[in-house]
Amino acid sequence: MIIVILRFIGGIVVILWKEKYKKTNSFKLNIPFFVSIYPKYVILYVLYMFNLKLNEFWRNISIVSGGYVISQLIVIIAIPILSRIYHPENFGLQSIYLSFALILGSLFTLKYELPIVFAKEDKESFSLVILTISFSALFSLVFFTLFLFFGDLIFNYLDLENDLILIFSIFVTTLLIGLLSALLQFNNKKKKFSVSSSSNIIQSVSNALGAILFGVFGVLKYGLIYGYLLSYSFSVIFLFFSNYKSLLFHYKDYANIKNFKSAFKEYVKYPKIILPTTLFSILSAQIIPILLQILYTPTFVGYFAMSNRLSLLPSIVIGGAIGSVLRTEVSILENESKSISPLFLSLVRKMFVIGIILYSVLGIISPWLFKFALGESWYNAGILNQSVVLYAFSIFMTQCFYDILLVKKQYKVYFYIQLSLFVIIIFSLLLGNYLFNKNPYHTISFMAGCVFIVLMVSLKIIYNFSED
C-alpha cells in the first residue's frame, strides 16, 4: 500500500515536471537543476526517482496488492454494520453456503484456469478459458440436479432445511466462480492489473452494500448470501466488459474443437496433479463450518465464522503480499542455484515477531473488541476468538511458504501436508467434542493446538527443502 501511495505521488511529480519542461528535450536533466534551485523540493525529486526506478513487476504488484488492501478495508468497515443488522445464525448459514460454494466451485474448473497465464500462445490461453467455463457450467448443472433429488439426505445430516433457494444460490455461485477464475486469469495474461485491482474493489463494495441493503429491507435469512451473489456477478460483468474485445478477437480466430482438445491434453496434469492437492487445501479451510454445523448450533457456527474471518485478515493481507513477492524471489534463487534458506529464515523471524505481537494483543482484547465493534450479541464470539487466534497464527506463519515446495517441484510433499492438515482438523474436532463433553469452545481450542503442531512441523519440512 505504501508503494502505491508513493508511486501515485511520484506520478503526480512526473506529470508536473513534464508539463513544465514539455517544450525541451532535456526533461531528466532539468529535474536536478530544478531541485538545485529549489532545495525544498528534494523530497519530490526522490519520489520522482522512486517512480522512475520502480520496474514493471513491482508496479504490477503494487497495483494488485493496493486494490486488495482497499477491498479488505471495505470488509472491515462493513462488518460492524452487518453484525448489528444480522444475527449470528445468519452468518452461520452464510458460512455453510460459502463452504459448499468455494469447495465445489474450485473443483468444478478442474484447475484449467491456472495455466491460462502461463500459456505460450493466445490460442492456448483462450482455449483454456473456454474449457474452464465449460467444465464449471457442466459440473454446476450436475450438482444442481443431484441436489434437487438427493438434497434431503445432505441437509438433514447438517440439520438444515432442504432449501431450494440455498441450493440454487450455491449452484449460481459455483458457476460464477468458474467464470470469475477464467476471466481473472485471462485479464492477468493481458497484464491488465489495474482491472484486476478494480475487480477486487467492486466485489467488496457490491458485497457490503448489497448485504446492508438486503438487511435493511428485512431479508435477513438470505441477505448475506445475496450480497455474495451480487458481488460475484458484478465482478464477472466488469471483467467481461474489460476484456470482451480480446475475447471476441480470439473467438473468431481460435474457437474450434481442435484447439480445445489440444489444450485439454496439453494441460491435463492440472486436473491430475494440482486438483487433488487443491482439494485438500480448500477442504482444510472450508470443512470446519460444515463440521461445526453438524456438532453444534447455527449460532456457534456464526460465532466461528465471524471470529475466523477477522482473525485471518492479517494472513490475507500481509501473508498474501509477502507470498506474491516470495514466489518470484524463490524462483530467481532456484534458477541461479542459490540457497533459499537465508531468505526463508529471515522472513520466518520477521513474521514470527509480527504474528506474536499482533495475535497476542488480539487474543487479549478479543471479548471487549467484539462487544464494542460488533455489538453485545457478539461477546461470545470474542471469547471464542481467544482460541481461534492460535489457529490463525499458524496459518499466518505457514501459508506463504508453500510456494517453496512448488518451486522445488515437491508436489507430493505439498499434497501430504494438505492431506495431513485436513485429517487432523476432522480428527481433532471429533475427538475434542468427545473429550470435552460437547463443549464447543474447548473443542476449538483443542483443534487450534493440533493444527499449530502440524503446521509448525510442515514449516520445518519446508525449511529442509529450502536448504537443498
Please, which pLDDT band fits residue 331 given cuts at 50, 70 and 90?
low
H-helix or E-strand containing 339? Answer: none
Please, which pLDDT band fits residue 117 given cuts at 50, 70 and 90?
confident
Q: Residue 465 pLDDT more than 90?
A: no
Tell me what pLDDT residue 443 has.
96
Better pLDDT: 316 or 271 = 271
Q: How many Å apart are CA 253 and CA 265, to the nearest integer?
A: 20
Q: How many Å apart are CA 170 and CA 259, to the nearest integer?
A: 31
Tell me what pLDDT residue 85 has.
94
The mean per-residue pLDDT over the stretch 23-49 comes to: 42
Tell me what pLDDT residue 99 has.
92
Q: What is the pLDDT of residues 245-301, one digit of tens each?
A: 888 887 777 778 888 888 898 888 888 888 888 888 888 889 999 999 999 998 999
pTM of the model: 0.78
Closest-CA residue to 162 (of 138, 174, 146): 146
Closest-CA residue to 348 (of 235, 435, 441, 462): 462
Q: Residue 438 pLDDT more than 50?
A: yes
Q: How many Å apart are CA 45 and CA 460, to the nearest integer?
A: 45
Please, which pLDDT band fits residue 116 given cuts at 50, 70 and 90?
confident
Please, which pLDDT band fits residue 23 given cuts at 50, 70 and 90?
very low
What's the Cα-to-Cα distance from 162 to each of 12, 148, 153, 165, rounded to whole Å?
A: 57, 9, 9, 9
Better pLDDT: 242 or 19 = 242
Better pLDDT: 194 or 28 = 194
The mean per-residue pLDDT over the stretch 4-10 comes to: 43
Please, which pLDDT band fits residue 62 given cuts at 50, 70 and 90?
low
Share of residues in the chain with pLDDT > 70 (%): 82
Q: Residue 13 pLDDT more than 80?
A: no
Tell me what pLDDT residue 324 has.
57
The mean per-residue pLDDT over the stretch 12-34 comes to: 43
Maximum CA extent, the chain: 80
SS (H, E, C) 360-374: HHHHHHHHHHHHHHH
Please, which pLDDT band fits residue 146 given cuts at 50, 70 and 90?
confident
Tell me what pLDDT residue 328 has.
59
Q: Residue 16 pLDDT more than 80?
A: no
Tell me what pLDDT residue 385 has.
95
Q: To the nearest 5 percent, what fractions of the chain are helix, strand and coil?
A: 85, 0, 15
Please, which pLDDT band fits residue 140 given cuts at 50, 70 and 90?
very high
